[in-house]
Structure 1
Amino acid sequence: MKKLLTIFVLTLILSCQKEKQQVDTIVINANVYTVNSNFDKAEAFAIKDGKFFKIGTTKDIQNNFVADTIIDAKGQAVFPGFIDAHCHFYGMGMNLQTVDLTGTTSFEEVMKRVLDYQNERNTSFIIGRGWDQNDWEDKNFPNKKLLDALFPNTPIALTRIDGHALLCNQAALDLANITKDTKIDGGEVVLENGELTGVLIDNPMELVYNIFPKPTRQLQIEGLMDAQEICASLGLTTVSDAGLDRNVIELIDSLQQTGDLQMRVYGMVSNTKENLDYYLPKGKIKTEKLNVQSVKVYADGALGSRGAALKTPYADAENHFGAMVIGLEDFETLAKRLEAANYQMNTHAIGDSANSFVLKTYDKTLQGKTDRRWRVEHAQIITDNDFEYFKNENILPSIQPTHATSDMYWAEDRLGAERIKGAYAYKTLLESSGKVALGTDFPIEQVSPFLTFYAAVARQDLEQFPEGGFQIADGLTREETLKGMTIWAAYSNFEENEKGSIEVGKFADFIILDHDIMTTDLINIPITKVEQTFIDGVKQ
């Protein structure tokens, strides 16, 4: 009888226990930063069908769920997958197939890399990118003379790091029909003593780009897959590619549909007649991995090549103002067309003159509209009262903190002591707008989001220069920076309801780090490693 009673009690207890629910994956013993509206912390979560299913304590998750995959984070920091709000994903991939000139410290080193590349590849057209004369002892633009002597018959085109200047040899100039008499608005064919130097600024560069050999589909695929590997290794799960043509967007979509490309892409359509005529009548295109509902527009050039459009002359170039690369009437007409099509307008604006015009046009075009989220890409130099325009809920700043720490050595030379105060003013932009979307602009800067985080908070280079930080009053807090790399970046892409935080129902995109970037010493942030990256709950 006693034995029967024991069996009855055990049966009753077991029958009262709640049956655990089957999910795909559970993560336990983690230091989870959810980045939800309360910036809550958690210890564990369950994933089902590629989305966060339940978030809570380790005990709660273990008591209620079972899964074939159990990840014990062992106290490590877990964050939502990082979103790069402004980069050139496809461009970086294609750059990896050409001469890499990043980090060169002299024109001689540029030439050595070109020679080494050609000795290995023996291509019919040499293409490269990454030089920056500001990093050389001689900070003047290079000249094509040595290229002409070494490669009299092989065309060469070497793009500056920022994509706003191009060095060509005579063979490339001849193919593009560029002479010393060539004049194109929105840029410059640089001459010296009345002769071609081989340097082109902004719009004239297109004449050379138009004669580039077309990459094969296989080369494009290799580029995209190489870019994905690098990005995933650094914790990026979404990239906002700032300027893509239709053929690349369709290739990305096809690779995502087959499962080869897992990276989520917010694709900004490049501003060409062909692209706009195709996409605007179609409206927004949205899948779980691809989002096309914006157009990337260029207002001006770059500060490093003195192409940024300024209200008053450059401090280091008498009577030189830079230039707009789009006509003012053309820009206003385009803004009206994009507004009518319900497309987001994302405009590159560096100089204070360009920013002022873009902001005023946005403000005027969006009168009476709501939730349009038109972005000013870079918003690099703002003067007078133009910060006030960012109080318009329809206008967002999209900024790249590593630009500040890359440019800080020479930016004041370009701008002067007074105008520099409104440059790289990220805290001021945040206070005006309420949100900032953070990116890298890679491959102009390095891909690493940890360098973004470090530059935003410390405002220093990796040698902790300058002491106290560059214009540190415009630095961001760690919480603000993390939001800018996750939920605010998602918001800038109209995707805050599906990603950017660890919350029930959102895509299970998350990363596990070896350092807690929210608490570790600042000097550890640039060397932080990604232990694992997950997209849809699947390890990449």
Structure 2
Amino acid sequence: MSKNRLLLTFGWGCFLGFTSCREPEPADLLIYNAKVYTADMDSTVVEAFAIKDGKFLEVGGSSFIRTKYKARRELDLKGKPVYPGFIDAHAHFVGYAQNLMQADLVGTKSFAEVVQRLVAHRKKYPAAPWLLGRGWDQNDWPVKDFPTNDTLNQLFPELPVLITRIDGHAALVNAKALALAQVTPATTVSGGIIQKVNGRLTGILIDNAEELVARKIPPMQTSELAKVLLAAQEKCFAVGLTSVVDAGLEKPVIDLIDSLQKAKALKMRIYAMLSPSEENKNYYFKNGPYHSPYLNVRSFKVYADGALGSRGACLLHPYHDQPNQTGFLLQNQEYYRQLAKQLNQLGFQMNTHAIGDSANRLMLNIYGEVLKGKNNKRWRIEHAQVVNPTDVPKFGRYNIIPSVQPTHATSDMYWAADRLGPERIAHAYAYKYLLKQNGFLALGSDFPVEAINPLYGFHAAVARQDAKNYPAGGFQKNNALTRVQALYGMTRWAAYANFEEKEKGSIERNKYADFVILSQDIITADLSAIRNTKVLATYPNGEVVYQPK
């Protein structure tokens, strides 16, 4: 063979297999021999990807990626599954962090057990000015009625006590706390209930009534709050979360989060919904949204009603188990209408907590008045638990995003029918029906109301079962999601609900390299074993932040 022909042959070979004839491109990390669920528009599954400067460079086959790129670290996952970093589309990250310093009352089986935990917590923190706790649920006790504060008054006569119900929409306080807040039997409150029996305060405060006492609790020191935020971050990373949506924050807390992120201490990405306080409105209405690689502030979180468990959810017709109650709105209708107009004019997203069918109807109608048909404002209804079937099409008509929490369905299923009766329960927690309106929805947990693990929500969405795999056939299984839909709800669609679909939510070129490696494939594994799945590694920005010891 002549020299010229040899060079021509070599050159043609380089053209056909060009990557083998040039130097590999530099990367920081290669993942290969994996099963990578990219969560792109085509549900593509690949074997490998390359990362540089915190972003995905390219995805593809193992041989292709390893030939085209050379990295300082190359990981052979030996077939392990990889997913985009999980996004909790509705949570209370700051509240969860603060709760780490409070008595944990989740899972208590009686009020006596609540008291035992409070006594133990007080021994652990004897100098705390208040005794605080969260997580009790009277629906889990033999006696389903709200407790009274008699025992707390006897045990803690000089120490103010406030313990919050699991949903955050009711609290029990003792006489000392009521006295500090100057709450008496004559006190009234709009959008809430101060419970009285025979003219005597029981200590139960529902919705807006909680704030009468809660505002007397000394705020956590900034240094202490920073400490617990970092502790909460570690717990979130351990379950595969790389982004959380915090539903309702004040500016000083947002500023602290921003400073911790800029100092590279807080690596959790946070979509911060603003509380509609005067301070927040005065600042953000003037200065507009704020966006950094880790923090996005462009929405307001509004409460239309309370919770079903405490009968604060606003219903069109009375509660099945309390025929004299329909729940209530937390503000008057004109408040919501005027706020919606303001937010629309200034370009902010409106995200409204609405649980009862009356609250959902009101907010869907107000959204419709303001949005006026198809749009890209991406306004959201948070929870959307009980929606009258005649109102559901409004989600599609006005491009309103349902932001739902599947574990609410499997937690509430034991008593929700008691509250709603047989007709309304049939169209409650209707996630599949809601999904059909726009072709997507956002999935969250509402932690600390529910557990922080997103795989519990994945399981609840698909199996419609709780941790005990109950009930056998699933709770109202006609509204179950597919596994791919559930995965998208906590990745791609959750990012879209935050206007962040170009930055994250899928494993694609130029997006942030947020991903998680699991012990088993949640798309193919036995449904009954999903909650046993372990997180093997969590990577935000291409950096490993969690691996089990």
TM-score bracket for the superposition, by shorter chain length: over 0.9
Q: Which amino acid aligns with 2:277?
A: T
Unmatched runs of 5 consecutive residues or more in structure 1: 1-5
| Preserved CA contact (<8 Å) 1:335 1:345 | yes
Note the C-alpha offset of 1:394. 3.1
Q: What is the TM-score of this pair, normalised by structure 2?
A: 0.95
After TM superposition, list the pairs within 5 Å mapping 1:243-254 onto structure 2.
Answer: 243-254=248-259
1:257 aligns with 2:262: yes
Q: Which amino acid aligns with 1:48?
A: K
Note the C-alpha offset of 1:12. 13
C-alpha distance in 2 between matches for 1:313 and 1:187 = 17
SS of 1:227's equivalent in the other structure is helix
Note the C-alpha offset of 1:370. 2.2
- The answer for the alignment partner of 1:51 in structure 2 is 55
Question: CA offsets, 1:487-520, max 9 Å, x none?
Answer: 0000000000110000001000001000100000
| Preserved CA contact (<8 Å) 2:38 2:45 | yes
Note the C-alpha offset of 1:393. 4.7
1:492 aligns with 2:528: no
Note the C-alpha offset of 1:386. 0.3
C-alpha distance in 1 between matches for 2:238 and 2:495 = 20
C-alpha distance in 2 between matches for 1:135 and 1:368 = 43
Q: Which amino acid aligns with 1:241?
A: D
C-alpha distance in 1 between matches for 2:29 and 2:321 = 58
Q: Which amino acid aligns with 2:262?
A: Q
**Identity of aligned pairs, percent?**
50
C-alpha distance in 2 between matches for 1:368 and 1:351 = 24
- The answer for the alignment partner of 2:150 in structure 1 is 145
Q: Which amino acid aligns with 1:240?
A: V
- The answer for the alignment partner of 1:70 in structure 2 is 74
Note the C-alpha offset of 1:71. 1.2
**Aligned to 2:42, which of 31, 38, 46?**
38
After TM superposition, list the pairs within 5 Å mapping 1:113-512 onto structure 2.
Answer: 113-122=117-126, 123-367=128-372, 370-512=375-517
Q: Which amino acid aligns with 2:271?
A: Y
SS of 1:291's equivalent in the other structure is strand
SS of 2:147's equivalent in the other structure is coil
C-alpha distance in 2 between matches for 1:296 and 1:11 = 61
| Preserved CA contact (<8 Å) 2:399 2:438 | no
Q: Structure 1 12/404 Cα, relative in aligned 2: closer, same or farther at 3 Å? A: closer
| Preserved CA contact (<8 Å) 1:33 1:79 | yes
Note the C-alpha offset of 1:437. 0.1
- The answer for the alignment partner of 2:114 in structure 1 is 110
C-alpha distance in 2 between matches for 1:282 and 1:342 = 12
SS of 1:386's equivalent in the other structure is coil
Unmatched runs of 5 consecutive residues or more in structure 2: 1-5
Q: Structure 1 393/69 Cα, relative in aligned 2: closer, same or farther at 3 Å? A: farther
Note the C-alpha offset of 1:392. 2.5
C-alpha distance in 1 between matches for 2:261 and 2:498 = 19
| Preserved CA contact (<8 Å) 1:515 1:524 | no
SS of 2:426's equivalent in the other structure is helix
Note the C-alpha offset of 1:11. 13
Q: Which amino acid aligns with 2:40?
A: N
Structure 1 ranges of 4+ moved more than 6 A: 9-16
**How many matched pairs?**
537
Q: Which amino acid aligns with 2:39?
A: V
C-alpha distance in 2 between matches for 1:255 and 1:471 = 43
RMSD: 2.0
Note the C-alpha offset of 1:223. 1.5
SS of 2:392's equivalent in the other structure is helix
Note the C-alpha offset of 1:369. 6.5
| Preserved CA contact (<8 Å) 1:393 1:433 | no
Q: Structure 1 68/285 Cα, relative in aligned 2: closer, same or farther at 3 Å? A: same
1:83 aligns with 2:54: no
- The answer for the alignment partner of 1:3 in structure 2 is none
